[in-house]
Homo-oligomer: A and B are copies of this chain.
Amino acid sequence: MDKNNRLQSNPMNKGSHSLGRLFLQLRRLERQPQNFGNAGSITPSEIHTIEGIGYEGAILMNELATHLGVTKGAVSQLIVRLEAKQLVMRSSYPHDSRAILISLTEKGKEAYKAHEEMHIQFYDQLRSELSQEEIEIFEKCIEKLNGFLQK
């Protein structure tokens, strides 16, 4: 295509463009089911849910919805599927009989750990190509981004 025809060729905006490509990559990743442990194929939404549960140990549907940034209805549906796959289990919450505590089964914990291991390896790979100082600045930037997007 004719590159002179581009609507945008602002050189100041190169960083924004890299970020844009990263978004597309992440969108692609977030569509790809994967195997974690021997739990079979797990979709991105499922693994995020497992991550949220595993991080807390046990969590209410409510809290999980807030953590994931989705409605309680969405979480309810996910938990049905994860329970069917025997990755999570429900138990009652002593202080409020309406509430339901979700926790990981042994199989779920395996998947959780395999996923964490993957994260750690990924991060190690990044660390191996950057200095300690660069990593710290990167993390600071990520925190800033998190702050902006919070709203």
Which A residues are within 8 Å of any B CB, using their own CB?
A: 1-3, 5-8, 10, 13-16, 18-30, 48, 51, 54-59, 63, 67-70, 104, 109, 112-113, 116, 119-120, 122-123, 125-126, 129-130, 134-135, 137-146, 148-150
Q: How many copies does the complex hold?
A: 2
Q: Across the interface, do B15 and A142 meet the contact criterion of CB distance under 8 Å?
A: yes
Nearest opposing residue in chain B for A138, CB measure: B141
Of B2, B26, B68, which one neighbours A149 at CB under 8 angstroms? Answer: B26
- Within the complex, the shortest CB–CB distance from A106 to chain B, in Å, comes to 12
Show 23 residue pairs from A and B whose CB-CB distance is below 8 angstroms, ordered by the A residue: A2-B57, A6-B55, A7-B55, A7-B112, A7-B116, A8-B54, A13-B116, A13-B119, A13-B123, A15-B142, A16-B119, A18-B142, A18-B143, A19-B119, A20-B119, A22-B142, A22-B149, A23-B30, A25-B69, A28-B69, A126-B141, A134-B141, A137-B138
